[in-house]
Amino acid sequence: MGKTDPPPRKRQKAGEDQAQAQQEDTDTSQLAAADEAAAAAASSPAGRKAPRGARAAAEQPAAAGDASGQQQPQQRGRKGSRRQGGGGTTSAAAAAADLGGEPASKPGAAFQPRDRRFTADSDTIMEAVVKVFCIHTEPNFSLPWQRKRQYSSNSSGFMISGRRILTNAHCVDHHTQVKVKRRGSDKKFVASVLAVGTECDIAMLTVDDDAFWEGVEPVVFGSLPQLQDAVTVVGYPIGGDTMSVTSGVVSRIEVTSYVHGAAELLGIQIDAAINSGNSGGPAFNSSGRCIGIAFQSLKHEDAENIGYIIPEPVIAHFINDYERNGGYTGFPCLGVEWQKLENPDMRTALKMKPHHKGVLVRRVEPTAPAHAAVAAYDILLSFDGVDISNDGTVPFRSGERISFSYLVSQKYTNEEAVLRLLKDGKEVTASVSLAAPVKLIPFHIKGAPPSYFIVAGLVFTPATVPYMRSEYGKEYDFDAPVKLLDKLMHHMAEQPRQQVVLLSQVLAAEVNIGYEEMLNTQVVALNGVKVVDMRVDHSEQLPCTEEYLHFDLDYNQKVVLATAHAKAATQEILAMHCISSDRSPDLPGGAAAAAAAAAAAAANGAPGSSAAAANGADAAAAAAGDKCKEKAGSGKSSRRR
């Protein structure tokens, strides 16, 4: 009799056994190849980079056109093999199970558990995080011809492509020296500051020494995360000298107030700990990609574990702005103040139809380009084709809404935006240019020294938030004069360079008897001419031919000085208070005044005067120091608190 075929069930069982045997052979050969690669890498003189390459060869499939010519089995992606903390957590047994074989016998063939040792990939990420050492010398805004005692700070940063380092702007604010140190290194490298974005609180550094960049891979950025996504913050916070890793989840994504730059930009709230020293450090997602920069936290008795990171769209805007313009130009603004239109009676009174939605324009800044196209009580319906709701929000990802100012912040300075407006019940379209905001009382002076002008002991300086903080402390928004706060919060600049010029203080002398108690009062007019800014209305108008100088101050106060007496007494007062120049270098004649002071110091034969004269202001300071040695020995006595 002929040989009968086995039953279908037995045929299926035999096929499964044969396939399983082939699969085991394939897996065994793969693991053997991985072990050989790891062993060869361990003996390679290339150092720690070779084991990383061996692991990568064992975990990732061969690329198209690979020399092996064989199609490797598809394996799990990188995202599935990494958890929060920046380090891989897949064990060797799990990796072998993914391949369908036995646990790997060598640790180099697969990831190790995070509680035992960091993986190669996590080490690569950590290597890009650096510690930033900065020496700061802040201006003394109350005595603007001086600087405060220098101090040091430690913060974090990380390397990106193009031999650049990102950190926070407040970490290098008023810097005189910046150094960076890599993880595990004992050498600090001097860094130079390429750009500082005060509004977005980001700074870009670089290091010229090639040794600093050897054997390191730059951080790769990821996309905007979803709520509840895992996030890991890496940096050098207080509490120790070595690197610290904290983890949490994304709690909220919305337009956030940036404390350092007083701007409203997109921000991510997380519940991972962010402490002093974490500033500038990267925040990674579960795939090891950077999704933000740690920059501030909320400290309140009713709040716990609330930290904020700068998201990738804001970082990309900063980098692209620098690359496009050769420097940082800032985030533009539309230049309008608006009001919600949630009340149905108001919408009807403004001739809005049932399908209309938008916000009411209350005021338009005179210095904004939109001033020519937008008027008060216009209704802004859409921005660049995106409809604006009655509460001022626009769609933002699935099931989320966000303030329409986010759309404005995505633009660059001098770019055009298309607005759809409702004017007296009629829809119109206007194209406007976007520019950086102009503040009557600026929140920052972008690292520049403060302006000042002195005549007859009267010290004039522009009102800025740093000056108000210097005079009234951190609670300046409660303790400063009401009129100054009103100008800070509600007044708009009518000209691009307009300033609020203050009579800061009076350096007591015979020529200004009776005016010693005047301080921090706005100067309204000089000799009947309205004071607009420091540059024009003081340094150029003071050399007038009138017999008296009439200063009209706020609250209807008045200061009158004889012109000849005021000019004659100025130099004596400057010498008495060890002030090298009657004006800051940014004002007309400031550089000439510094050169004249240097020449005077050289003529007086001050020690080292010939060398100091070449440095201008240094010579002037040396000459003033010779005339008032006693006061120079106790500089704190003249410092205003």
Contacting residues for 548 by C-beta, under 8 A, at least 6 apart: 560, 561, 562, 563
The CA distance from 42 to 40, in Å, is: 5
Q: Positive or negative CA dihedral for 524, 525, 529, 533?
A: negative
Q: Specify whether the CB–CB gap between 625 and 612 falls below 8 A.
A: no
Of 121, 173, 201, 533, the catalytic one is: 201
The CA distance from 335 to 369, in Å, is: 8
The CA distance from 539 to 547, in Å, is: 17
Q: Specify whether the CB–CB gap between 160 and 144 falls below 8 A.
A: no
- Annotated catalytic, 444? no
The CA distance from 477 to 443, in Å, is: 12
| Alpha-carbon distances of 512 from 145, 157, 458, 559, 627, rounded to whole Å | 20, 51, 8, 9, 22
Contacting residues for 344 by C-beta, under 8 A, at least 6 apart: none
Of 121, 136, 156, 170, the catalytic one is: 170
| Alpha-carbon distances of 538 from 419, 525, 557, 573, rounded to whole Å | 41, 10, 18, 18
In whole angstroms, what separates CA 294 from the centre of its chain?
10
Closest CA to 253 of 377, 51, 402, 141: 402
Q: Which amino acid is at 211?
A: A
Q: Specify whether the CB–CB gap between 120 and 51 falls below 8 A.
A: yes
The CA distance from 137 to 57, in Å, is: 50
Q: Are strands 244-258 and 548-553 parallel, antiparallel or unpaired?
A: unpaired
Which position has the token pair 């020399």? Answer: 67
Closest CA to 187 of 259, 113, 248, 133: 133
Q: Which amino acid is at 311?
A: P
In whole angstroms, what separates CA 120 from the centre of its chain?
31
- Vertex 131, ends 125 and 136: CA angle to 5°? 150
Q: Specify whether the CB–CB gap between 541 and 589 falls below 8 A.
A: no
- Annotated catalytic, 391? no
Q: How many Cα atoms sit within 13 Å of 574 on the Cβ side? A: 23
Query: Coil, helix or strand for 528?
Result: coil
The CA distance from 226 to 142, in Å, is: 46
Instruction: State which H helix or E strand residue 551 sits in.
Output: strand 548-553
Ramachandran angles phi, psi of 487, nearest 5° = -70, -35
The CA distance from 295 to 266, in Å, is: 13
Of 155, 247, 279, 409, the catalytic one is: 279
User: What is the residue-wise DSSP string for 318-340?
Assistant: HHHHHHHHSS-----B--EEEE-
- Annotated catalytic, 279? yes
Contacting residues for 437 by C-beta, under 8 A, at least 6 apart: 332, 333, 335, 365, 368
- Vertex 85, ends 84 and 89: CA angle to 5°? 75
Alpha helices by DSSP H, listed for 522-616, are 534-537, 563-576, 590-603, 609-614
List active site positions.
Answer: 170, 201, 279
